[in-house]
């Protein structure tokens, strides 16, 4: 706790130093001085070029010496001042956050470069950086092909010809391993290549196009997309299409003074009513009560701010919320999570790193290091949006379930860990430790949390 408090104090000090640094003139004064030098030199050149007297050049250069020297001195002084302040800030950073060895005893991704490359490429695609993603994929494939081929050939120097070809028949098992490795590399190559498909890029380009329109408060492209994918969205139980149409109704209801749309029969209260008649009919089975609230707003229109409908027409964050919902549903139809897995992994890792470093330093000092590579010794506090799976602890063994020891629900409805259930079995039957029920192990069902 003391280390965390110290880091917090150090961060506050750095914030103050950075705020003070941002108020300094910085390099702007230097840029002004350089502009002055350029202006003086330009005027001198024009004067010399226009003069007929051969002595004009020498006289002009003589007059320039002192002003130019003074200007250069100011530039150097300004650079020294900025460099000095940056150096002090760097020292403050080093003092507040000294370099420590990272806890890298168990690197789960060390042998998974293809997965890392795929995560990076997919992140770039999701961010709309299509050309960057394509370049990254090409270079990753080139590096993988080069390293994969030459490292495998180099590992078999005793059976290689001068040209690098492996001689057959001298080490069949080694050659078999090499062929399997090459096959895996080819599979990784194809997997990365699949991310370069024009169809996938077109999908993300479509998503970003709609998001840009939503940012400009134009709901029509999003509504058109939701309508064209209504069957898939309804199968998922999504309300996206209705939420978009609802927001469009509210947006029209607020009128041209707020929405900036043309002041005609399709805008304002009359336009909202016309829109509701055209679009809300198909939503009545699922959203009748909300539609009724929207329709009743016409009655309260003269005093909407004091009406029961006030919350519906408060749209401070409505467009941001609906954009998030659109992104989530769009990615779900592509079989992807709403947020980039790379972003989530890096953010969660950054949050967990200080705790892991503190734990590692404490255990090393006591000579009791954690040796289990599949789990941490403590729970990392993460925001709720980053907690995707519940945790089940077996009530009998008092141990957390794992992939190899999953939770199992028995016929009476109680849940035990698989290993606990196996220990309770006498032959193929067991008795529940919490009720008189008995059952067979074949009737137990694994629970997916």
| Sequence spans of domains, the chain | 2-95, 113-158+177-196, 200-333, 387-449
Contact 348, 386 (CB under 8 A): yes
Give burial (CB, 10 Å; 0-12/13-18/19+) of 73: exposed
- In angstroms, rounded to a whole number, what is the distance separating the alpha carbons of residues 138 and 398? 50
**DSSP class of 394:** -
Nearest alpha carbon to residue 214 among 126, 326, 129, 130:
326
**For 93, how many CA atoms within 13 A lie in the half-sphere containing its CB?**
7
**Predicted TM-score (pTM) of this structure:** 0.58
62 φ/ψ angles, rounded to the nearest 5 degrees: -65, -45
pLDDT at 189: 57
User: Tens of pLDDT along 36-65?
Assistant: 899 989 988 888 888 878 788 888 888 888
Q: What confidence category does residue 242 fall into, taking pLDDT thresholds of 50, 70 and 90?
A: very high
pLDDT in tens, 334-393: 888 888 889 998 998 888 888 888 887 787 777 777 666 666 677 778 887 787 777 788
| Statement: residue 100 has pLDDT above 70 | no
CATH fourth-level superfamily of 387-449: Zinc/RING finger domain, C3HC4 (zinc finger) (3.30.40.10)
pLDDT, residue 112, reads: 82
Cα R_g (the chain), whole angstroms: 34
CA 274 – CA 390 distance, rounded (Å): 47
Q: Judge whether 152 and 196 are in contact, CB under 8 Å.
A: no
* Residue of higher predicted confidence among 143 and 242: 242
Q: Would you say 250 and 313 are in contact if contact means Cβ atoms under 8 Å apart?
A: yes
- The H-assigned helical ranges of 254-405 are 256-259, 268-279, 284-300, 318-333, 341-366
Phi, psi of 127 (to 5 degrees): -85, 0
Q: Mean pLDDT throughout 298-313?
A: 76
Judged by average pLDDT, the poorest of 136-140, 297-301, 369-373, 396-400 is 369-373
DSSP string, 5-50: HHHHHHHHHHHHHHHHHHHS-TTHHHHHHHHHHHHHHHHHHHHHHH
**Which helix H or strand E contains 321, and what residues bound it?**
helix 318-333
Q: Which residues contact 33 (CB under 8 A, 6 or more apart)?
A: 71, 74, 75, 78
Q: Which two tokens stand for residue 244?
A: 């978009």
Q: Which whole number is the average pLDDT over 247-268?
A: 88
Q: How far is CA 428 from CA 119, 225, 424, 440, in A?
A: 44, 54, 10, 6
On whether the CB atoms of residues 370 and 377 are closer than 8 A, the answer is yes
Place of tokens 């400009």: 216
**Of 240, 246, 223, 245, whose CA–CA distance to 297 is shortest?**
246
Structure tokens of 114?
């293809």
Q: How far apart are CA 429 and CA 439, in angstroms?
A: 6
Confidence band of 190 (pLDDT split at 50, 70, 90): low
Of the listed ranges 158-162, 219-223, 240-244, 372-376, the least confidently predicted one is 158-162
| Rounded-to-integer distance, Cα 136 and Cα 275, Å | 46
In the three-class reduction of DSSP (H, G, I as helix; E, B as strand; rest coil), residue 254 is classed as coil
Secondary structure of residue 160 in the 3-state scheme? strand
The sign of the torsion formed by the CA atoms of 25, 26, 32, 33 equals positive
């Amino acid at each position: 706790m003391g280390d965390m408090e110290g880091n917090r104090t150090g961060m506050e000090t750095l914030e103050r130093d950075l705020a003070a640094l941002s108020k300094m003139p910085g390099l702007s004064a230097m840029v002004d001085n350089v502009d002055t030098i350029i202006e003086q030199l330009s005027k001198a050149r024009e004067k010399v070029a226009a003069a007929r007297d051969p002595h004009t050049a020498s006289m002009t250069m003589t007059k320039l010496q002192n002003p130019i020297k003074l200007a250069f001195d100011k530039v150097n002084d300004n650079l020294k001042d900025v460099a000095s302040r940056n150096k002090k800030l760097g020292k403050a950073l080093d003092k507040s956050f000294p370099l420590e060895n990272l806890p890298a005893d168990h690197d789960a991704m060390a042998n998974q470069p293809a997965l890392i490359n795929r995560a990076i490429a997919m992140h770039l695609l999701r961010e709309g950086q299509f050309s960057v993603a394509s370049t990254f994929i090409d270079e990753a494939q080139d590096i993988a092909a080069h390293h994969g081929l030459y490292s495998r050939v180099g590992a078999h120097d005793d059976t290689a010809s001068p040209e690098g070809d492996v001689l057959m028949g001298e080490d069949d098992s080694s050659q078999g391993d090499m062929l399997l490795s090459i096959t895996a590399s080819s599979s990784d190559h194809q997997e990365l290549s699949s991310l370069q498909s024009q169809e996938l890029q077109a999908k993300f380009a479509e998503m970003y196009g709609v998001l840009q329109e939503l940012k400009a408060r134009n709901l029509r492209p999003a509504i058109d997309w939701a309508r064209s994918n209504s069957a898939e969205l309804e199968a998922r139980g999504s309300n996206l299409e209705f939420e978009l149409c609802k927001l469009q109704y509210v947006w029209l209801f607020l009128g041209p003074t707020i929405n900036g749309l043309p002041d005609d029969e399709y805008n304002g209260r009359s336009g909202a009513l016309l829109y509701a008649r055209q679009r809300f009919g198909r939503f009545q089975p699922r959203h009748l009560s909300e539609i009724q609230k929207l329709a009743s707003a016409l009655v309260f229109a003269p005093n909407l701010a004091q009406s029961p409908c006030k919350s519906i027409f408060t749209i401070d964050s409505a467009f941001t919320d609906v954009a998030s919902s659109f992104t989530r549903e769009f990615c779900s139809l592509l079989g992807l999570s709403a947020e980039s897995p790379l972003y989530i992994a890096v953010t969660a890792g950054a949050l967990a790193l200080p705790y892991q470093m503190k734990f590692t330093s404490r255990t090393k000092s006591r000579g009791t290091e954690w040796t289990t590579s599949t789990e941490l010794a403590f729970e990392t506090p993460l925001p709720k949006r980053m907690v995707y799976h519940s945790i089940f602890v077996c009530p009998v063994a008092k141990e957390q379930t794992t992939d190899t020891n999953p939770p199992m629900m028995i016929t009476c409805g109680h849940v035990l860990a698989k290993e606990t259930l196996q220990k309770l079995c006498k032959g193929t039957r067991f008795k529940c430790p919490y009720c008189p029920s008995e059952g067979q192990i074949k009737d137990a069902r694994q629970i997916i949390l």
